[in-house]
Amino acid sequence: MPLTLFFRYLHFNLIHSFLSFFILIPITLHFIFYFICLYHFFIFFYYFFTFSGLIGIRVLFSEWLFFEIR
């Protein structure tokens, strides 16, 4: 193998390893944790709005409606 091909191969491997370890893996982990957090966020708000939040929403809406009618 000529020396230029060897350095080109080495250069490609270094760039590829840099991209995969410092860019692709953190982005992948970021999206995995992002969707996990989003999933728990929606579960929390589903339970919050269905059980405890409906009363507060009705109170706020009735107060807003009362002020709008006045």
pLDDT on residue 51: 65
pLDDT on residue 5: 72
Q: Phi first, then psi: what are they for 53, rounded to 5°?
A: -80, -20
Q: Phi first, then psi: what are they for 2, rounded to 5°?
A: -65, 160
pLDDT on residue 41: 77
Indicate whether 13 pLDDT > 60: yes
pLDDT on residue 15: 75
pLDDT on residue 25: 80
Q: What is the DSSP string of 7-50?
A: HHHHHHHHHHHHHIIIIIHHHHHHHHHHHHHHHHHHHHHHHIII
Residue-wise pLDDT for 36-61, tens only, equals 888 877 777 776 666 666 666 666 66
